[in-house]
């Protein structure tokens, strides 16, 4: 797999004398093949590793927000009105207290709010108010891509 022998042609009177020398080149093709396979595996597996509570997000035409250095904090409001921080259930009366504790430990004030499309708007705004009171002023609303756009020709 890379080490072979090359015959050295010596100068003789018509006779060939050869002395085998080791080949000093490394074949990197198998290494590159393995690395490309691993890259593909990680590219496919990375989106499956996102932690979250299953909710049916509303669809919108808005684009994605830029990525961050820190793992994003996600607050979820499920269809039954339950609130989770990441995947931990939190009572509504304890939400602001828990958020203040988390905000004190984080460098970023960005938080992503996921709410099921069936949750009333008033409940989503209550959670947004709690996020603001908890110290998070940079709130991103998470939606699915592919919803109606207001500037499309069929919306008039």
Contact 83, 95 (CB under 8 A): yes
Give the lowest-confidence range in 32-36, 79-83, 100-104, 149-153: 149-153
Q: Is the pLDDT reported for residue 15 higher than 60?
A: no
Contact 8, 21 (CB under 8 A): yes
| Predicted confidence (pLDDT) per residue in 68-87, tens digit | 566 778 898 988 888 988 88
Classify residue 126 by burial, with Cβ atoms within 10 Å: 0-12, 13-18, 19+.
Answer: middle
């Amino acid at each position: 797999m890379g080490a072979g022998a090359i015959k050295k042609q010596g100068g003789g009177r018509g006779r060939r004398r050869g002395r085998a020398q080791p080949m000093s080149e490394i074949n990197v093709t198998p290494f590159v093949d393995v690395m490309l396979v691993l890259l593909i595996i990680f590219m496919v597996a990375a989106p499956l590793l996102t932690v979250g509570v299953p909710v049916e997000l509303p669809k919108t035409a808005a684009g994605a927000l830029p990525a961050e250095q820190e793992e994003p904090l996600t607050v979820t409001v499920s269809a039954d009105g339950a609130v989770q921080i990441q995947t931990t259930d939190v009572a509504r009366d304890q939400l602001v207290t828990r958020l203040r504790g988390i905000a004190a430990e984080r460098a970023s004030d960005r938080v992503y709010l996921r709410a099921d499309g069936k949750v009333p708007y008033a409940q989503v705004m209550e959670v947004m108010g709690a996020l603001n009171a908890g110290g998070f002023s940079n709130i991103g609303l998470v939606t699915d891509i592919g919803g109606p756009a207001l500037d499309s020709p069929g919306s008039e």
